[in-house]
Amino acid sequence: MHYLKRTWAEISLDNLRLNVENYKKYLGEKTQLLCVVKANCYGHCDDAVVPYLENELGIKWFAVSNVCEAIKLRQDGIKGEILILGYTPFDEAEKLSDYNIIQACTEYDYAVKLSQHSNGKTIRLHVAIDTGMTRIGLRGKVCDICDDIERISSLDNIKVEGIFTHFAVADSNEPDDDKYTKDQSEMIIAVDDELKKRGISLDQCHFLNSAGGVYHYSDKSSLARLGIILYGLMPNPAKALPFKPEPVMSLKSCVSQVKTVEKDVSVSYGRTYKTSDTTKLATITCGYADGYPRALSNVGDVIINGKRAKITGRVCMDQFMCDVTDIDDVKVGDVVTLIGSDGKETITADDIADMTGTIGYEVVCGISQRVPRVIIKDGREIAVFG
């Protein structure tokens, strides 16, 4: 498979399958998977991942951030249900109907605007309930929330099909946070029960996120929104999962030059690193324009020929250097593992997040579009995107 072997990401559909299969073991029969595929599948390539989920793994539900992402999936041939979790401008309301997309509704006034801009077409909604995330959704007493949902349901060309909420601390180890999550669950279940008493029976009531599905499962949630675990990362690295998620993305680069320099030689911008002895340096063809964090300067490691090499100096836009003094036979063209495994060594996106003060989500989402995605299935390359 031809692609520019400068810096590239390998996407393992085999690991994706394992994560889906393992996660489903913790869900009851009443709960379907809704795979979160926003942000180009968290940087993992929606062109490859979403068709595989639908056509080979039988996933029927998908969640995206915005209408552009939703329309792209439809244009790519995706037939399953698509839920937009974020905001859609009112003047795009017709597209929701034209492409058979479900929109998250945050409040009554927003539903009014969608109704007014629907041009007579039916707009499908899942109403967001703010049970404690304080991000989007109806907030207040159960009776008041249900009053608003009744008002929304009565609007012309509006079809309320579900309600949902989002957990704020489902991945926490703290007892107080466990209670907080339980309270969130009980709140939305109470809303659903009250709606039923009023004769409003919705198709969907969902509140489980990735962490919620394994730590706080309830069969009252008709959908489990599988996000970060789908891609093999931990919701919270400090809290063990009941199974080992398999990272779907590996990030690879290569050596472009090897040189030996003397003691007291400054390396890279700002002279933030100086050699303490005669040192063999390798230049790596990746940088922050590829999404490799500049915060790894003088901190991070890479793996070359199965051994770790420390980053020396600042990570540049397109390149950086590392110390390969203790690694034999490093030469131009050698593959460098930035995220992934080589021999007995492994570097995960969560490891990089820990070193740079962020979360694994941001690391994988940050891998830029100029990095080709090489798709791996049954242990071999089957396609390249980008």
Q: pLDDT per residue over 279-301, tens digit each?
A: 999 999 999 999 999 999 999 99
Which pLDDT score, from 0 to 100, does residue 10 have?
98
For residue 314, how far is the Cα from the chain centroid?
28
Judge whether 269 counts as a catalytic residue: yes
Query: CATH topology for 249-385?
Result: Lyase, Ornithine Decarboxylase; Chain A, domain 1 (2.40.37)
Torsion of CA 234, 239, 243, 247, to 10 degrees: 20
**Domain definitions of the chain by residue range:** 31-230, 249-385
Judge whether 3 counts as a catalytic residue: no
162, 120 contact by CB (below 8 A) = no
Per residue in 154-203, pLDDT (tens digit) is: 999 999 999 999 999 999 999 999 999 999 999 999 999 999 999 999 99
Query: CATH topology for 31-230?
Result: TIM Barrel (3.20.20)
The active-site residue out of 79, 263, 269, 274 is 269
Cα distances from 332 to residues 174, 258, 305, 307, in angstroms, run 49, 7, 12, 16
Per residue in 14-41, pLDDT (tens digit) is: 999 999 999 999 999 999 999 999 999 9
Per residue in 301-328, pLDDT (tens digit) is: 999 999 999 999 999 999 999 999 999 9
pTM of the shown model:
0.96
Which pLDDT score, from 0 to 100, does residue 164 have?
98
> What is the pLDDT confidence band of residue 78, given thresholds at 50, 70 and 90?
very high
Q: What is the mean pLDDT of residues 73-94?
A: 98
Quick check: 239 pLDDT over 90? yes
Please tell me if the domain spanning 31-230 has the same topology as the one spanning 249-385: no
Which pLDDT score, from 0 to 100, does residue 273 have?
98
Quick check: 2 pLDDT over 90? no
Quick check: 110 pLDDT over 80? yes
Which pLDDT score, from 0 to 100, does residue 185 have?
98
> What is the pLDDT confidence band of residue 1, given thresholds at 50, 70 and 90?
confident
Residue 240, classified by CB atoms within 10 Å of its CB into exposed (0-12), middle (13-18) or buried (19+), is exposed
